[in-house]
Amino acid sequence: MTAPHSLTLADASALIAARRLSPVELLEDCLARIAAVEPRLNAFIRMTVAEAEAAAREAEAEITRDGPRTALHGIPVGLKDIIDLAGHPTTCHSRLRLDHMAERDAVVVARLRAAGAVFPGKLATHEFAIGGPAFDLPFPPARNPWNTAHHPGGSSSGSGAAVASRMLPAALGTDTGGSVRHPASHCGIVGLKPTYGLVPRDGVFPLAFSLDHVGPLTRTVRDAAMMLNIMSGGRADFTRDLNLGLRGLRVGFVRHFHETDQLGDPEMGAAIEAAAELLAAEGARVTTITLPPLAEFAAVNRTILVSEASVVHEEWLKTRPDEYAAVTRRRLLPGLFVPAVDYMHAARRRTQLIAAVEAAFAEVDVLLTASSMDPACRIDDTEAVERTYPRQARTPFNVTGHPAITLMAGLSSGGLPLSVQFVSPSFTEARLLRAAHGFERASPWKDYAPPLDG
Protein backbone atom coordinates (compact mmCIF):
# COMPACT_ATOMS: atom_id res chain seq x y z
CA MET A 1 0.00 0.00 0.00
CA THR A 2 1.07 3.59 -0.62
CA ALA A 3 2.64 5.12 2.49
CA PRO A 4 -0.24 6.61 4.49
CA HIS A 5 1.26 10.12 4.50
CA SER A 6 1.25 10.09 0.69
CA LEU A 7 -2.47 9.35 0.44
CA THR A 8 -4.92 12.02 -0.59
CA LEU A 9 -7.62 12.86 1.92
CA ALA A 10 -10.20 10.98 -0.18
CA ASP A 11 -8.03 7.85 -0.45
CA ALA A 12 -7.17 7.86 3.25
CA SER A 13 -10.84 8.34 4.13
CA ALA A 14 -11.88 5.41 1.95
CA LEU A 15 -9.27 3.11 3.50
CA ILE A 16 -10.31 4.15 7.01
CA ALA A 17 -13.96 3.43 6.19
CA ALA A 18 -12.96 0.03 4.79
CA ARG A 19 -10.98 -0.74 7.99
CA ARG A 20 -7.79 -1.08 5.93
CA LEU A 21 -6.12 1.93 7.57
CA SER A 22 -6.56 3.16 11.10
CA PRO A 23 -6.49 6.82 12.19
CA VAL A 24 -3.63 5.95 14.53
CA GLU A 25 -1.57 4.47 11.67
CA LEU A 26 -2.28 7.51 9.50
CA LEU A 27 -1.31 9.98 12.20
CA GLU A 28 1.83 8.08 13.16
CA ASP A 29 2.99 8.02 9.55
CA CYS A 30 2.26 11.75 9.15
CA LEU A 31 4.23 12.46 12.33
CA ALA A 32 7.15 10.41 10.98
CA ARG A 33 6.97 12.39 7.76
CA ILE A 34 6.95 15.65 9.75
CA ALA A 35 10.03 14.54 11.67
CA ALA A 36 11.79 13.76 8.38
CA VAL A 37 11.08 16.93 6.37
CA GLU A 38 9.90 19.66 8.74
CA PRO A 39 13.44 20.78 9.69
CA ARG A 40 13.91 21.88 6.07
CA LEU A 41 10.53 23.60 5.74
CA ASN A 42 9.64 25.37 9.02
CA ALA A 43 5.96 24.78 8.29
CA PHE A 44 4.95 24.26 11.93
CA ILE A 45 4.91 26.78 14.76
CA ARG A 46 3.61 24.33 17.37
CA MET A 47 3.05 20.59 17.45
CA THR A 48 0.06 19.25 19.41
CA VAL A 49 1.10 15.60 19.29
CA ALA A 50 -0.35 14.30 22.56
CA GLU A 51 -3.81 15.68 21.84
CA ALA A 52 -3.70 14.45 18.25
CA GLU A 53 -2.67 10.96 19.33
CA ALA A 54 -5.49 10.82 21.87
CA ALA A 55 -7.99 12.01 19.25
CA ALA A 56 -6.71 9.42 16.75
CA ARG A 57 -7.09 6.60 19.30
CA GLU A 58 -10.60 7.79 20.10
CA ALA A 59 -11.43 7.94 16.39
CA GLU A 60 -10.08 4.44 15.84
CA ALA A 61 -12.18 3.02 18.65
CA GLU A 62 -15.34 4.75 17.46
CA ILE A 63 -14.83 3.73 13.83
CA THR A 64 -14.18 0.12 14.85
CA ARG A 65 -17.39 0.14 16.89
CA ASP A 66 -19.77 2.26 14.80
CA GLY A 67 -18.07 3.24 11.54
CA PRO A 68 -16.86 6.75 10.63
CA ARG A 69 -18.99 9.78 11.52
CA THR A 70 -17.98 11.62 8.35
CA ALA A 71 -15.41 11.36 5.57
CA LEU A 72 -13.02 13.40 7.74
CA HIS A 73 -13.14 11.07 10.74
CA GLY A 74 -9.55 10.37 11.76
CA ILE A 75 -8.02 12.69 9.14
CA PRO A 76 -5.13 14.96 10.29
CA VAL A 77 -5.72 18.64 9.46
CA GLY A 78 -3.28 21.50 10.09
CA LEU A 79 -4.35 24.98 11.20
CA LYS A 80 -2.86 28.30 10.16
CA ASP A 81 -1.85 29.99 13.38
CA ILE A 82 -4.37 32.80 13.17
CA ILE A 83 -7.14 30.22 13.73
CA ASP A 84 -8.05 29.34 17.32
CA LEU A 85 -7.47 25.84 18.68
CA ALA A 86 -8.77 25.60 22.23
CA GLY A 87 -6.07 25.42 24.88
CA HIS A 88 -3.23 26.56 22.60
CA PRO A 89 -1.74 29.93 21.69
CA THR A 90 -2.89 31.69 18.54
CA THR A 91 0.34 33.58 17.93
CA CYS A 92 -0.33 34.96 14.44
CA HIS A 93 3.42 34.32 14.00
CA SER A 94 4.05 37.44 16.09
CA ARG A 95 5.80 38.31 19.35
CA LEU A 96 2.77 40.50 20.10
CA ARG A 97 0.63 37.37 20.60
CA LEU A 98 3.02 34.88 22.17
CA ASP A 99 1.06 34.90 25.43
CA HIS A 100 -2.39 34.65 23.87
CA MET A 101 -4.28 31.46 24.74
CA ALA A 102 -7.38 30.40 22.81
CA GLU A 103 -10.23 29.57 25.17
CA ARG A 104 -12.33 27.80 22.55
CA ASP A 105 -12.09 26.47 19.02
CA ALA A 106 -12.83 28.71 16.07
CA VAL A 107 -16.24 27.76 14.65
CA VAL A 108 -14.66 26.13 11.60
CA VAL A 109 -12.33 24.12 13.85
CA ALA A 110 -15.26 23.06 16.02
CA ARG A 111 -17.02 21.80 12.88
CA LEU A 112 -13.98 19.81 11.83
CA ARG A 113 -13.55 18.44 15.35
CA ALA A 114 -17.20 17.35 15.44
CA ALA A 115 -16.60 15.60 12.10
CA GLY A 116 -13.76 13.63 13.70
CA ALA A 117 -10.73 15.49 12.31
CA VAL A 118 -7.43 15.34 14.21
CA PHE A 119 -5.21 18.42 14.73
CA PRO A 120 -1.45 17.68 14.89
CA GLY A 121 -0.26 21.30 14.98
CA LYS A 122 -0.43 25.02 14.22
CA LEU A 123 1.16 26.22 11.01
CA ALA A 124 3.37 29.14 10.06
CA THR A 125 1.92 32.28 8.52
CA HIS A 126 3.20 35.66 7.51
CA GLU A 127 2.81 37.85 10.59
CA PHE A 128 -0.87 38.70 11.13
CA ALA A 129 -1.46 37.39 7.58
CA ILE A 130 -0.13 40.64 6.11
CA GLY A 131 3.64 40.59 6.52
CA GLY A 132 5.97 38.84 4.16
CA PRO A 133 8.52 36.10 4.77
CA ALA A 134 10.41 37.74 7.65
CA PHE A 135 13.53 36.72 9.54
CA ASP A 136 13.04 39.09 12.51
CA LEU A 137 10.20 37.17 14.19
CA PRO A 138 10.07 34.50 16.93
CA PHE A 139 9.55 31.78 14.30
CA PRO A 140 11.35 31.31 10.96
CA PRO A 141 9.40 31.65 7.72
CA ALA A 142 8.11 28.51 6.00
CA ARG A 143 9.90 27.41 2.85
CA ASN A 144 8.84 25.97 -0.49
CA PRO A 145 9.09 22.15 -0.64
CA TRP A 146 9.86 22.23 -4.36
CA ASN A 147 13.00 24.24 -3.60
CA THR A 148 13.64 25.30 -0.02
CA ALA A 149 15.53 28.39 -1.15
CA HIS A 150 12.26 29.70 -2.56
CA HIS A 151 9.15 31.40 -1.21
CA PRO A 152 6.14 29.10 -0.59
CA GLY A 153 3.63 31.91 -1.07
CA GLY A 154 1.67 33.58 1.67
CA SER A 155 0.27 34.33 3.93
CA SER A 156 -0.88 30.72 4.56
CA SER A 157 2.71 29.65 3.94
CA GLY A 158 2.97 26.81 6.46
CA SER A 159 -0.34 25.37 5.28
CA GLY A 160 0.87 25.24 1.69
CA ALA A 161 4.24 23.76 2.59
CA ALA A 162 2.77 21.13 4.93
CA VAL A 163 0.24 19.83 2.41
CA ALA A 164 2.55 19.93 -0.62
CA SER A 165 5.30 18.08 1.26
CA ARG A 166 2.89 15.29 2.26
CA MET A 167 3.21 16.05 5.97
CA LEU A 168 -0.58 16.49 6.14
CA PRO A 169 -3.44 15.65 3.75
CA ALA A 170 -5.18 18.99 4.40
CA ALA A 171 -4.82 22.32 6.17
CA LEU A 172 -6.81 25.48 6.77
CA GLY A 173 -5.69 28.88 5.57
CA THR A 174 -7.17 32.34 5.27
CA ASP A 175 -7.51 34.52 2.20
CA THR A 176 -7.88 38.33 2.25
CA GLY A 177 -5.99 39.19 -0.92
CA GLY A 178 -5.18 35.67 -2.11
CA SER A 179 -3.51 34.05 0.89
CA VAL A 180 -4.94 30.55 0.40
CA ARG A 181 -4.46 30.59 -3.35
CA HIS A 182 -0.94 32.08 -3.32
CA PRO A 183 0.71 29.18 -1.44
CA ALA A 184 -1.38 26.74 -3.46
CA SER A 185 0.01 28.33 -6.63
CA HIS A 186 3.63 28.29 -5.46
CA CYS A 187 3.48 24.84 -3.83
CA GLY A 188 1.60 23.01 -6.60
CA ILE A 189 -1.54 22.09 -4.66
CA VAL A 190 -5.22 23.10 -4.53
CA GLY A 191 -6.33 26.24 -2.70
CA LEU A 192 -10.02 27.10 -2.42
CA LYS A 193 -11.41 30.48 -1.39
CA PRO A 194 -15.14 29.94 -0.84
CA THR A 195 -17.82 32.58 -1.35
CA TYR A 196 -17.54 35.37 1.21
CA GLY A 197 -19.53 34.32 4.27
CA LEU A 198 -19.97 30.65 3.37
CA VAL A 199 -17.43 29.58 6.00
CA PRO A 200 -17.68 31.38 9.38
CA ARG A 201 -14.72 33.46 10.57
CA ASP A 202 -15.53 33.46 14.30
CA GLY A 203 -12.34 32.60 16.19
CA VAL A 204 -10.09 33.64 13.30
CA PHE A 205 -7.88 36.67 13.94
CA PRO A 206 -9.08 39.32 11.48
CA LEU A 207 -7.05 41.13 8.87
CA ALA A 208 -9.79 42.99 6.96
CA PHE A 209 -13.35 42.26 8.05
CA SER A 210 -15.03 42.61 4.66
CA LEU A 211 -12.34 40.75 2.68
CA ASP A 212 -11.40 37.81 4.94
CA HIS A 213 -12.21 34.23 3.94
CA VAL A 214 -11.30 30.83 5.43
CA GLY A 215 -10.47 28.07 2.96
CA PRO A 216 -8.86 24.64 2.66
CA LEU A 217 -5.53 23.70 1.10
CA THR A 218 -5.46 20.12 -0.20
CA ARG A 219 -3.73 17.97 -2.78
CA THR A 220 -6.79 17.40 -4.98
CA VAL A 221 -10.02 19.14 -5.89
CA ARG A 222 -12.05 16.26 -4.45
CA ASP A 223 -10.26 16.70 -1.14
CA ALA A 224 -11.14 20.42 -1.16
CA ALA A 225 -14.79 19.57 -1.79
CA MET A 226 -14.78 17.10 1.09
CA MET A 227 -13.30 19.71 3.42
CA LEU A 228 -15.86 22.30 2.31
CA ASN A 229 -18.71 19.90 3.05
CA ILE A 230 -17.77 20.13 6.74
CA MET A 231 -16.44 23.69 6.85
CA SER A 232 -19.68 25.10 5.43
CA GLY A 233 -21.79 23.33 8.04
CA GLY A 234 -23.19 20.71 5.70
CA ARG A 235 -25.02 23.18 3.46
CA ALA A 236 -24.52 20.97 0.44
CA ASP A 237 -22.56 18.01 -0.89
CA PHE A 238 -19.88 19.80 -2.88
CA THR A 239 -18.62 16.51 -4.33
CA ARG A 240 -21.89 15.84 -6.15
CA ASP A 241 -21.01 17.40 -9.53
CA LEU A 242 -17.31 16.57 -9.66
CA ASN A 243 -17.63 13.89 -12.30
CA LEU A 244 -19.94 15.75 -14.67
CA GLY A 245 -16.95 16.77 -16.76
CA LEU A 246 -16.26 19.85 -18.82
CA ARG A 247 -18.42 19.22 -21.86
CA GLY A 248 -20.74 22.15 -22.51
CA LEU A 249 -19.33 24.28 -19.70
CA ARG A 250 -19.01 27.92 -20.77
CA VAL A 251 -15.58 29.22 -19.74
CA GLY A 252 -14.71 32.91 -19.91
CA PHE A 253 -10.95 33.29 -20.39
CA VAL A 254 -9.71 36.56 -18.87
CA ARG A 255 -6.56 36.83 -20.96
CA HIS A 256 -5.91 40.51 -20.36
CA PHE A 257 -5.04 39.92 -16.71
CA HIS A 258 -1.75 38.23 -17.69
CA GLU A 259 -1.30 39.57 -21.22
CA THR A 260 -1.68 43.33 -20.77
CA ASP A 261 -2.64 44.30 -17.21
CA GLN A 262 0.44 42.57 -15.76
CA LEU A 263 2.61 40.80 -18.29
CA GLY A 264 3.05 37.30 -16.92
CA ASP A 265 6.25 35.29 -16.97
CA PRO A 266 6.36 33.54 -20.39
CA GLU A 267 6.25 30.07 -18.85
CA MET A 268 3.28 31.02 -16.67
CA GLY A 269 1.49 32.51 -19.67
CA ALA A 270 2.12 29.37 -21.70
CA ALA A 271 0.74 27.18 -18.90
CA ILE A 272 -2.46 29.25 -18.72
CA GLU A 273 -2.89 29.08 -22.49
CA ALA A 274 -2.33 25.32 -22.39
CA ALA A 275 -5.01 25.07 -19.71
CA ALA A 276 -7.49 26.86 -21.97
CA GLU A 277 -6.65 24.49 -24.82
CA LEU A 278 -7.12 21.46 -22.57
CA LEU A 279 -10.52 22.74 -21.42
CA ALA A 280 -11.61 23.16 -25.03
CA ALA A 281 -10.32 19.70 -25.94
CA GLU A 282 -12.44 18.28 -23.10
CA GLY A 283 -15.59 19.87 -24.53
CA ALA A 284 -15.78 23.23 -22.75
CA ARG A 285 -16.74 26.31 -24.76
CA VAL A 286 -13.89 28.75 -24.13
CA THR A 287 -14.35 32.39 -25.08
CA THR A 288 -12.27 35.45 -24.29
CA ILE A 289 -13.95 37.99 -22.02
CA THR A 290 -12.95 41.32 -20.53
CA LEU A 291 -13.25 42.50 -16.94
CA PRO A 292 -12.10 45.80 -15.42
CA PRO A 293 -8.29 46.11 -15.25
CA LEU A 294 -6.40 44.36 -12.49
CA ALA A 295 -5.10 47.72 -11.27
CA GLU A 296 -8.62 48.82 -10.33
CA PHE A 297 -9.29 45.69 -8.29
CA ALA A 298 -5.88 45.99 -6.63
CA ALA A 299 -6.39 49.64 -5.66
CA VAL A 300 -9.79 48.91 -4.12
CA ASN A 301 -8.47 45.86 -2.27
CA ARG A 302 -5.45 47.74 -0.95
CA THR A 303 -7.45 50.74 0.28
CA ILE A 304 -10.07 48.63 2.04
CA LEU A 305 -7.56 46.14 3.43
CA VAL A 306 -5.17 48.62 5.05
CA SER A 307 -8.05 50.74 6.35
CA GLU A 308 -9.78 47.81 8.02
CA ALA A 309 -6.48 46.35 9.26
CA SER A 310 -5.63 49.65 10.93
CA VAL A 311 -8.76 49.30 13.08
CA VAL A 312 -7.49 45.93 14.33
CA HIS A 313 -3.91 47.08 14.89
CA GLU A 314 -4.36 50.75 15.85
CA GLU A 315 -3.47 50.39 19.54
CA TRP A 316 -0.42 48.17 18.96
CA LEU A 317 0.86 50.38 16.13
CA LYS A 318 0.76 53.32 18.53
CA THR A 319 2.13 51.61 21.62
CA ARG A 320 4.22 48.61 20.48
CA PRO A 321 5.30 49.29 16.88
CA ASP A 322 8.81 47.93 17.32
CA GLU A 323 7.47 44.47 18.14
CA TYR A 324 6.20 43.91 14.59
CA ALA A 325 8.49 42.60 11.89
CA ALA A 326 9.71 45.48 9.76
CA VAL A 327 7.78 44.28 6.70
CA THR A 328 4.54 43.92 8.70
CA ARG A 329 4.86 47.40 10.20
CA ARG A 330 5.55 48.86 6.76
CA ARG A 331 2.41 47.26 5.34
CA LEU A 332 0.12 48.18 8.25
CA LEU A 333 1.11 51.79 8.96
CA PRO A 334 -0.39 53.36 5.82
CA GLY A 335 -3.84 52.31 7.00
CA LEU A 336 -3.68 54.88 9.79
CA PHE A 337 -3.46 57.67 7.22
CA VAL A 338 -6.14 56.68 4.68
CA PRO A 339 -8.85 59.37 4.68
CA ALA A 340 -12.41 58.19 5.23
CA VAL A 341 -13.33 59.67 1.86
CA ASP A 342 -10.84 57.34 0.14
CA TYR A 343 -12.28 54.33 1.94
CA MET A 344 -15.78 55.33 0.83
CA HIS A 345 -14.65 55.87 -2.77
CA ALA A 346 -13.14 52.36 -2.68
CA ALA A 347 -16.35 50.93 -1.23
CA ARG A 348 -18.41 52.57 -3.97
CA ARG A 349 -16.06 51.39 -6.70
CA ARG A 350 -16.21 47.92 -5.16
CA THR A 351 -19.95 47.69 -5.83
CA GLN A 352 -19.30 48.60 -9.47
CA LEU A 353 -16.58 45.95 -9.80
CA ILE A 354 -18.90 43.33 -8.31
CA ALA A 355 -21.55 44.31 -10.86
CA ALA A 356 -19.03 44.01 -13.69
CA VAL A 357 -18.09 40.46 -12.70
CA GLU A 358 -21.73 39.53 -12.18
CA ALA A 359 -22.47 40.78 -15.69
CA ALA A 360 -19.75 38.50 -17.07
CA PHE A 361 -21.40 35.53 -15.37
CA ALA A 362 -24.55 36.22 -17.35
CA GLU A 363 -22.55 35.01 -20.38
CA VAL A 364 -20.32 32.27 -18.92
CA ASP A 365 -20.44 29.60 -16.20
CA VAL A 366 -16.90 30.00 -14.87
CA LEU A 367 -13.88 32.21 -15.40
CA LEU A 368 -10.36 31.04 -16.20
CA THR A 369 -7.58 33.43 -15.12
CA ALA A 370 -4.02 33.58 -13.97
CA SER A 371 -3.32 33.15 -10.28
CA SER A 372 0.35 34.14 -9.88
CA MET A 373 2.15 35.91 -12.71
CA ASP A 374 5.50 34.36 -11.79
CA PRO A 375 6.90 31.15 -10.31
CA ALA A 376 8.13 31.43 -6.73
CA CYS A 377 11.16 33.66 -6.21
CA ARG A 378 13.96 33.14 -3.70
CA ILE A 379 12.77 33.66 -0.14
CA ASP A 380 15.86 35.67 0.82
CA ASP A 381 15.60 38.07 -2.15
CA THR A 382 13.65 40.90 -0.54
CA GLU A 383 13.44 42.91 -3.75
CA ALA A 384 12.07 39.96 -5.71
CA VAL A 385 9.51 39.15 -3.00
CA GLU A 386 8.30 42.76 -2.93
CA ARG A 387 8.19 42.93 -6.74
CA THR A 388 6.37 39.64 -7.38
CA TYR A 389 3.97 39.59 -4.41
CA PRO A 390 1.42 41.96 -6.02
CA ARG A 391 1.82 40.38 -9.47
CA GLN A 392 -1.25 38.20 -9.28
CA ALA A 393 -4.93 37.96 -10.23
CA ARG A 394 -6.35 36.72 -6.92
CA THR A 395 -7.37 39.96 -5.20
CA PRO A 396 -10.22 40.74 -7.64
CA PHE A 397 -12.24 37.93 -6.11
CA ASN A 398 -11.65 39.04 -2.55
CA VAL A 399 -13.07 42.39 -3.64
CA THR A 400 -16.10 40.72 -5.25
CA GLY A 401 -16.45 37.81 -2.81
CA HIS A 402 -16.86 35.21 -5.58
CA PRO A 403 -15.49 31.69 -4.97
CA ALA A 404 -12.14 30.95 -6.58
CA ILE A 405 -9.81 27.98 -6.73
CA THR A 406 -6.19 27.66 -7.79
CA LEU A 407 -4.41 24.49 -8.85
CA MET A 408 -1.24 23.32 -10.53
CA ALA A 409 -0.90 23.75 -14.30
CA GLY A 410 2.72 22.92 -15.00
CA LEU A 411 6.35 23.16 -13.93
CA SER A 412 8.75 25.94 -14.83
CA SER A 413 12.15 25.23 -16.34
CA GLY A 414 13.46 25.82 -12.82
CA GLY A 415 11.29 23.03 -11.43
CA LEU A 416 8.75 25.28 -9.68
CA PRO A 417 4.94 24.98 -9.96
CA LEU A 418 2.87 26.98 -12.43
CA SER A 419 -0.83 27.55 -11.79
CA VAL A 420 -4.28 28.56 -13.02
CA GLN A 421 -7.37 29.91 -11.30
CA PHE A 422 -11.09 29.22 -11.80
CA VAL A 423 -13.87 31.50 -10.52
CA SER A 424 -17.66 31.07 -10.44
CA PRO A 425 -20.74 33.01 -9.26
CA SER A 426 -21.35 33.34 -5.54
CA PHE A 427 -22.52 30.17 -3.80
CA THR A 428 -21.90 27.98 -6.87
CA GLU A 429 -18.96 26.09 -5.37
CA ALA A 430 -20.27 22.81 -6.79
CA ARG A 431 -19.93 24.25 -10.31
CA LEU A 432 -16.49 25.72 -9.54
CA LEU A 433 -15.24 22.42 -8.19
CA ARG A 434 -16.65 20.56 -11.19
CA ALA A 435 -14.65 22.79 -13.55
CA ALA A 436 -11.46 22.48 -11.52
CA HIS A 437 -11.85 18.71 -11.14
CA GLY A 438 -12.44 18.36 -14.87
CA PHE A 439 -9.21 20.20 -15.56
CA GLU A 440 -7.32 18.29 -12.88
CA ARG A 441 -8.52 14.91 -14.15
CA ALA A 442 -7.49 15.66 -17.74
CA SER A 443 -4.06 17.07 -16.86
CA PRO A 444 -0.98 15.22 -15.58
CA TRP A 445 -0.07 17.67 -12.83
CA LYS A 446 -2.06 16.08 -10.01
CA ASP A 447 0.49 13.27 -9.90
CA TYR A 448 3.52 15.54 -9.42
CA ALA A 449 5.11 15.99 -5.99
CA PRO A 450 8.02 18.02 -4.62
CA PRO A 451 11.39 16.22 -4.90
CA LEU A 452 12.00 16.19 -1.14
CA ASP A 453 12.96 12.53 -1.11
CA GLY A 454 15.46 12.80 -3.93
Q: In the annotation, is 80 catalytic? A: yes
Three-class secondary structure assignment of 392-421: ECCCHHHHHCCCEEEEEEEECCCCCEEEEE
- Marked catalytic residue, from 155, 157, 159, 307: 155
Task: Give the H/E segment covering residue 292.
Answer: none
Q: What is the DSSP string of 349-408?
A: HHHHHHHHHHHHHTT-SEEEE-SBSS---BTT-HHHHHHHTT-BS-THHHHH---EEEEE
Q: What is the β-pairing status of strands 366-369 and 285-288? A: unpaired
Q: In the annotation, is 310 catalytic? A: no
Beta carbons of 186 and 392 less than 8 angstroms apart:
no
The Cα 196–Cα 404 span in angstroms is: 10
Nearest partner of 208 among 346, 353, 387, 8, judged by Cα: 346
- Marked catalytic residue, from 80, 122, 193, 446: 80
Q: In the annotation, is 155 catalytic? A: yes
Residues 6+ apart with CB under 8 A from 302: none
Q: In the sheet where 44-47 sits, what is the strand order?
A: 44-47, 121-123, 77-80, 170-175, 213-218, 190-193, 404-411, 417-423, 366-369, 250-253, 285-288
Q: 412: cis peptide before it, omega within 30°?
A: no
- Marked catalytic residue, from 94, 157, 179, 426: 179
Residues serving a catalytic function are: 80, 155, 179
